[in-house]
Structure 1
């Protein structure tokens, strides 16, 4: 079993529900995922929970089965300090437009919190986001992406399939 902890992005859960791992096709995927969350191998932060709870579908019903004491709270002082470092990095890098900083600064946006928790927990981030090509000073982008900012903090990002391999998912 892998010793690595994983912090999961909401897009992984949403994309899984909408594609390969639809609840009616592979319910065992959701059972295995839930068990890894309960075991502490996969961290679901409260901000991701909030993004999921916006909807009212199978994913919303499923995530509500995760006990609240297992959901990772972002309210600790260390997580908040980490979040501030992430936002400061996005703002000061010169790679992003003011709009990107404003978006990532919204309380409802989970991305900077995911990075803060991953940094604190020395965890790997699982996301379907891709790095921005040609990210360089002098040509600021309107959106920040988790993999680019995670790189700034030496945090590994992987996709769902790599996490499934590392956790030995058997469907």
Structure 2
């Protein structure tokens, strides 16, 4: 089951609005109803702050929400230390605390992460500057990370009006 990052579902909401792409949102709603898409609680909170209508839509479709568990918190600390982040000294160009919680949720549950954060070509020398997709690619993290368009392509869904 793929797991949404806030960036991905907000990207979809902003670039493929439901009023212009109803078949896409009908499909997403069905995927959620079938238990094929989920979101971490911290990501849903971010969506609620940045795109309240989108968060309401997700909740109205009863999306599966993954909570922060002790196992996710332990994995978050492991990833944080792997990146060389001490205490709460996150780099402005890298992942933040919620990003690490989201990656850890995908890792602990063996899920693919859907993120539309930009890919970093020629990765930074400092791991703390890595964005979500680059962190997921680290061998010690090993989370598959795709973007929203890849989700659609992987599904084989075709949308016709």
Fold-level similarity (TM above 0.5): yes
Deviations 1:74-105 (A, max 9, x none): 2x22111111112112226xxxxx44289623
Counterpart residue number, 1:132: 120
Distance 1:88 1:66, change over 3 A: farther
Size of the alignment, in residue pairs? Answer: 153
Q: Tell me how far apart the structure 2 counterparts of residues 34 and 53 of structure 1 sit (CA, whole Å).
A: 18
| Correspondences of 1:67-106 after superposition (within 5 Å) | 67=62, 70-74=64-68, 76-91=69-84, 98-100=89-91, 104-105=96-97
Counterpart residue number, 1:11: 7
Deviations 1:48-82 (A, max 9, x none): 110011146531331230337x21112x2211111
Structure 1: runs of 5 or more not aligned: 93-97
Q: Tell me how far apart the structure 1 counterparts of residues 158 and 43 of structure 2 sit (CA, whole Å).
A: 25
Structure 2: runs of 5 or more not aligned: none
Distance 1:71 1:65, change over 3 A: same
Q: Tell me how far apart the structure 2 counterparts of residues 168 and 58 of structure 1 sit (CA, whole Å).
A: 27
Q: Is the 8 A contact 2:40 2:66 kept in 1?
A: yes
Q: Is the 8 A contact 1:37 1:44 kept in 2?
A: no
Q: What is the TM-score with the length of structure 2 in the denominator?
A: 0.80
Counterpart residue number, 2:110: 122
Distance 1:126 1:100, change over 3 A: same
- What's the offset of the Cα at 1:157? 1.3
Counterpart residue number, 1:95: none
Pick aligned residue for 2:29 from 34, 45, 57: 34
